[in-house]
Amino acid sequence: MTRKYFGTDGIRGRVNTAKLTPEVAMKAGMAAGRIFTRGEHRHRVVIGKDTRLSGYMIESALVSGFTAVGMDVFQFGPLPTPAVAMLTRSLRADLGVMITASHNPFEDNGIKFFGPDGQKLSDDVEMEIEQLMDAGLAQGLAPSERIGRAKRIDDSQARYIEFAKRTFPRNLRLEGLRIVIDCAHGAAYKVAPEVLWELGADIVPLGVTPDGTNINLDCGSTAPQAMCNKVREMRADFGIALDGDADRVVMADEKGNIIDGDQILALIAKSWSRNDKLKGGGVVGTVMSNAGLDRYLKTLDLSLARSAVGDRYVLEEMAKGGFNVGGEQSGHIILSDFSTTGDGLIAALQVLAVLAQEDKTASEAAHLYNPLPQVLENVRYKKGSPLDDARVQSSIDDGNAKLGASGRILVRKSGTEPLIRVMAEGDDEKLVRAVVRQIASAIEEVAA
């Protein structure tokens, strides 16, 4: 069945267009509230958000929807997505909600739902919410005496700060380390610098002055050059760049060289395997994970299981195979010993723990393998299904024939934006680039 509202990571779209309006948000709150109202206890939903201007509007609409069906609402204000997942469980809530469009520009926003276990909802539950949203919700309204209440939780940031610090080894400190932390003017702009400072680091903050419109703007994990430049300028030991809701991270060594999600997975896998903490005999990546990671893990007698793109699918594969480490090249790192979703800050703390334990620089410790040349090109389209066109399929087949067994091609639609992502990797970078451009050109012609 075609999904009308939900994509690969909740409801997301340009604010005040058909995909995401106050009416849509209110209906989503009412529908989700009805589904998760089970039993006679007083039902509770928690809501966090990033720093987008539209967050106020969407939060108010959601609160109206939830209280209308009899749920009490706890409002956290700006808080990372993983903190909302954690507090959903900690506060014994029936449902958790994060208002964010993650790494997208401020004009977009979204709604992510978490079940009482702190995990994102299944496709089936999301479809159930969609069906209720369009079926009419008047019959689900609570009687006057059962309408919900809304309450602000003032110490939610402090709770997450303490939680994050507990994931760092108690016998270690970050004293002597100068760390650039870029919060993308987003949800972690208060908590992330505070955690690092309380652990002893000398911090250089970036992206910590949100104004409602500057989230992810030339900063954060999708634009890490600002962080890299600041690392070099300040002669820092390490750099951390989070995205707008802080569920993904990209890092930099002391030379300003990027450490992506695949390298983070390799480092944590090596460290946790050596300390008998790694479960499942390897890690979970995605179809986008670099083949160099796979080759490196094999040298450690570890495996790389691949899932579809999206941290929800990574988590599903982790559960299926008994893994406790998984993630995406883009920086969604899930460490299920600590969290039920990607947590950029906790992933960074695990890398910093290795640097502190081994007394190595980031450039020595974090670049464990040479990635295969991998090229990604995004092609925007307005309508239709360009991937169904015979010319596009022919260009993909031709590219596969050119790369042969030494490479691979992945062409897929984005689940959050009207983009088709064309990726190829192989030992011959020049050939890889030519193959990607050939396929992208075919898609551009069809999509024109």
Phi then psi for residue 433, to 5 deg, are -65, -40
- In Å, what is the CA distance from 437 to each residue of 346, 423, 430? 37, 10, 11
Count of CB atoms within 10 A of residue 145's CB?
6
Q: Packing angle between helix 429-447 and helix 390-403, nearest 10 degrees?
A: 180
Cβ 28 vs Cβ 129: under 8 Å: yes
**Residue 157: HSE in the Cβ half-sphere, 13 Å Cα cutoff:** 16
Active site residues: 102
Phi then psi for residue 411, to 5 deg, are -125, 125
Q: How far apart are CA 434 and CA 189, in angstroms?
A: 40
Nearest CA among 63, 65, 61, 94 for reference residue 76: 63
Q: Which long-range contacts (CB under 8 A, 24 or more apart) does 135-144 make?
A: 137/27, 137/30, 137/31, 137/34, 137/69, 140/30, 140/33, 140/34, 140/69, 141/68, 141/69, 142/68, 142/69, 142/70
Nearest CA among 196, 195, 118 for reference residue 158: 195
